Structure 1
Amino acid sequence: MIEDNLKRLGIVLPIPPKPAGSYVPVVVSGNLAFVSGQIPIQDGKVMFTGRVPTEKSIQEAQQAARLCAINILAQLKANLGSLERITRILRVSGFVNSDAGFSEQPKIINAASDFLFEIFGESGKHSRIAIGASSLPLNSTVEIDMIAEISTG
């Protein structure tokens, strides 16, 4: 079902990006999968860099957030073997490289949340934070991490 929804949207999950530091991309503990922060990397390159709204528009940042969510799914598939093991998206934490005074981070992270709702349906509804940051790794425009509930069998 999840894979079918991705196909319907024309999304092919990439080979997941390698960690940019001393951490692992996914940690599974019991029936929870914790996905480390993902930035908008495609084909080994950060596709969206800079601060919102002076260097990147809200629309570009939304594209970055969606790409972060795609990379999260790629990490989960690589680590779990199948996205069908995901039973519920529990938590999404979104960070936006923002100018001081910018307060529309939720509008940007909505792009990732809406994408997850479209892929997972009711199981994609999650708790969330959307935070402005003065900088992010590799000058990325957005970084998102996630906690998912998974089947253990």
Structure 2
Amino acid sequence: MNPYERLQSLGLALPAAPRPVATYVPFVLSGGMLFLSGQGPRDGQGGYATGQLGRDVSIDQGYAHARTTGLYLISVMEMALGDLRRVGRVVKVLGMVNATPDFTDHPKVINGCSDLFVEVFGEAGRHARSAVGMGSLPNGMTVEVEAIVEVAA
């Protein structure tokens, strides 16, 4: 199955690729590699899912927010490449979690994005990853994820 068929089988539709909220571009394509700027869990109304893990957001909610963020990253991949079948491999993911100092389950949260990439891209969605905690994130969002993708020849 190709990524579009996998998205359909998951019952997922790609949202519109988000526009930058500051002075940056959503992606840079360089030397066969696609670098995706960080995205957060948009709520469909122009805002973000907000809060801190370990205080007012559960691990399951954070997982869902990271999954939503992954869907936005896939939208940016499509915008950049024109066709998701051009994704050769998801190489690296950096997941940042807005968390209290004592929160330690960052990987469980960012699995929401990682699991989605594997579901959509199969083995090509498996990637190296860092999942780290932050004291705050832009707009108070719960997670921010960026990725590096290899473009198929």
TMscore range, shorter length: over 0.9
**Distance in 1, Cα, partners of 2:101 & 2:46:** 27
**Aligned length in residues:** 152
Q: 3-state DSSP class of the match of 2:5?
A: helix
Answer yes or no: is the 8 Å Cα contact 2:43–2:49 preserved in 1: no
Name segments (4+ residues, structure 1) moved above 4 Å: none
- Which residues in structure 2 correspond to 1:21-60 (within 5 Å)? 21-60=22-61
- Which residues in structure 2 correspond to 1:81-120 (within 5 Å)? 81-120=82-121
**Distance in 1, Cα, partners of 2:34 & 2:80:** 9
Deviation at 1:45, TM superposition (A): 2.6
1:42-76 C-alpha deviation (Å, 9 max, x unpaired)? 42433410101211111111111001100000011
Deviation at 1:115, TM superposition (A): 1.0
Structure 1 position 148 matched with structure 2 position 145: no
**Distance in 1, Cα, partners of 2:112 & 2:74:** 15
Superposition TM-score, scaled by structure 2 size = 0.96
Answer yes or no: is the 8 Å Cα contact 2:17–2:75 preserved in 1: yes
Deviation at 1:121, TM superposition (A): 1.0
**Distance in 1, Cα, partners of 2:84 & 2:151:** 9
Q: Which residue of 1 aligns with 2:66?
A: 65
Q: Which residue of 2 aligns with 1:15?
A: 16
Q: Counterpart amino acid of 1:38? A: Q
1:79-134 C-alpha deviation (Å, 9 max, x unpaired)? 21111100100000000000011110001011111111111111111000000000
Deviation at 1:151, TM superposition (A): 2.3
Answer yes or no: is the 8 Å Cα contact 2:40–2:141 preserved in 1: yes
**Distance in 2, Cα, partners of 1:45 & 1:56:** 20
Gaps of 5+ in 1: none
1:14-57 C-alpha deviation (Å, 9 max, x unpaired)? 11111111000010001100000000114243341010121111
Superposition TM-score, scaled by structure 1 size = 0.96
Gaps of 5+ in 2: none
**Distance in 2, Cα, partners of 1:133 & 1:118:** 27
Q: 3-state DSSP class of the match of 2:96?
A: strand
Q: 3-state DSSP class of the match of 1:94?
A: strand
Q: 3-state DSSP class of the match of 2:52?
A: coil
**Distance in 1, Cα, partners of 2:148 & 2:26:** 12
